[in-house]
Amino acid sequence: MADMHHMVQVDGADAVSAYSALTTRDGITGWWTSRAAGTGSQPGDRLSMSFPDAPMTWDMRVTAAQEPTTVEWDCTGGPPGWAGTHLRWGVEPTDGGAVVRLDHVGFPAVDDMFRIVTVGWAQMLLSLKQHLETGVRKPFFDF
């Protein structure tokens, strides 16, 4: 199995704002993709995200949630290699901001998809940071 681990420091945004950006449709469409459905704040909730030129959706089921510090998803659908992976978002309050950590684990191998996703999550975390620090809604993937 292959796992990836990322983190980003967000200045000027509290943990509640960061958690909301990860667990609500309004939050996710502010930094990730403008086409998201569902909610992700309670175990059992489902999220579905669409991306330009992708013939499928990325589907997540919330497996754990503790506001404002932790939300975990099981990926139930998406491109090859995604289904069956697990994502854990951790939000830690800091003086003047928050640290957001992402662990995306359970990829079958370190293959090209894994490498693309690794770079992609780094870009998405920078988009999340920009959204939280500026308040400007600018999803990385915008239809």
Please give the model's pTM, rounded to 2 decimal places: 0.95
Specify the pLDDT at position 143: 86
- Give residue 102's pLDDT: 98
How confident is the prediction for the chain on average, in pLDDT? 96
Please list the ranges in the chain whose pLDDT falls under 50: none
d(CA 40, CA 64): 10
pLDDT at 93: 97
**Domains along the chain with CATH numbers:** 2-134 (3.30.530.20)
Contact 21, 128 (CB under 8 A): yes
Question: Residue 18: phi, psi to the nearest 5?
Answer: -65, -45
Smallest CA-to-CA distance from 49 within 41, 40, 125 is with 40
Region of residue 9 (phi > 0: left; psi between -120 and 50: alpha; otherwise: beta): beta
Question: What local confidence, expressed as pLDDT, does residue 10 receive?
Answer: 98
